[in-house]
Amino acid sequence: MQPKARITHLPVYQPGKPVDEVKRELGLTKVTKLASNENPFGCSPKAKEAIVAIAEQANIYPDGASVLLKDAVAALYGVDPEQIVFGAGSDEVILMIARAFLSPGDETIMADRTFPQYRHNAEVEGATVVEVPLKDGTHDLEAMLAAVTDRTKIVWVCNPNNPTSTIVTADEVESFLERIPSSVMVVLDEAYVEYVVDPRFPNALELIKRYPNVVTLRTFSKAYGLAGLRIGYGIGRAELIRSINQVREPFNTTSFAQAAALAAVQDQAFIASCREANAAGIVYLREQFDRLGLKSFPAHGNFVLVDCARDAKTVYEELLKKGVIVRGGHTASIGFPTAIRVTVGSAEQNKEFVEALEAVLQETAVAAE
Ligand code: PMP
144/173 same-domain check: yes
> 90 CB less than 6 Å from ligand 1?
yes
25/80 same-domain check: no
Q: How far apart are CA 276 and CA 210, in angstroms?
A: 31
Residue with the nearest Cα to atom 6 of ligand 1?
191
| pLDDT reported for residue 14 | 79
104/201 same-domain check: yes
CATH number at residue 216: 3.40.640.10
Q: What is the pLDDT of residues 7-34, one digit of tens each?
A: 999 988 877 788 999 999 999 999 999 9
243/343 same-domain check: no
> 227 CB less than 6 Å from ligand 1?
yes
Q: Where are the alpha helices (DSSP H) in 78-140?
A: 90-101, 117-124
| pLDDT reported for residue 367 | 59
How far away, in angstroms, is 191 Cα from ligand 1 center? Answer: 6
Question: Which of 26, 119, 63, 39 has the alpha carbon at shortest distance from 320?
Answer: 26
- Rounded to 10°, the helix 67-77/255-265 angle is 30
pTM: 0.97
Within-domain flag for 64: yes
Residue with the nearest Cα to atom 4 of ligand 1?
191
Q: What is the pLDDT of residues 170-184, one digit of tens each?
A: 999 999 999 999 999
118/263 same-domain check: yes
Contacts of 210 (CB under 8 A, 6+ apart): 177
Question: Which of 310, 14, 367, 336 has the alpha carbon at shortest distance from 166?
Answer: 336
> 184 CB less than 6 Å from ligand 1?
no
Q: Which of 91, 114, 188, 220 to mutate to test the pocket of ligand 1 (most atoms within 8 A of CB)?
A: 91
Within-domain flag for 35: no
| Distance of alpha carbon 331 from the chain centroid | 17
- Rounded to 10°, the helix 312-321/19-26 angle is 80
* DSSP for residue 10: P
327/239 same-domain check: no
CATH number at residue 328: 3.90.1150.10
113/254 same-domain check: yes
Q: What is the pLDDT of residues 77-88, one digit of tens each?
A: 999 999 999 999
168/245 same-domain check: yes
Given a contact cutoff of 8 angstroms between Cβ atoms, the answer to whether 148 and 128 are in contact is no
- CA atoms lying within 13 Å on the CB side of residue 353: 29
Average pLDDT, the chain: 96
Q: How far apart are CA 220 and CA 233, in angstroms?
A: 8
Last residue of some domain: 235, 267, 299?
267
Q: Is the previous residue joined to 113 through a cis bond, with omega within 30 degrees of 0?
A: yes
Q: Does 165 score more than 90 pLDDT?
A: yes
Within-domain flag for 306: yes
Last residue of some domain: 238, 267, 296?
267
96/220 same-domain check: yes
Last residue of some domain: 212, 238, 267?
267
22/109 same-domain check: no
How far away, in angstroms, is 220 Cα from ligand 1 center? Answer: 9
Q: Which atom of ligand 1 sits closest to the CA of residue 222? A: 15
Given a contact cutoff of 8 angstroms between Cβ atoms, the answer to whether 38 and 346 are in contact is no
81/13 same-domain check: no
Show the domain range for 343. 5-30+269-368
Q: Is the previous residue joined to 163 through a cis bond, with omega within 30 degrees of 0?
A: yes
What values do phi and psi take at 126, rounded to 5?
A: 80, 15
Q: How far apart are CA 32 and CA 326, in angstroms?
A: 9
Q: What is the pLDDT of residues 70-129, one digit of tens each?
A: 999 999 999 999 999 999 999 999 999 999 999 999 999 999 999 999 999 999 999 999
Our count of domains for the chain comes to 2
24/163 same-domain check: no
Q: How far apart are CA 145 and CA 296, in angstroms?
A: 27
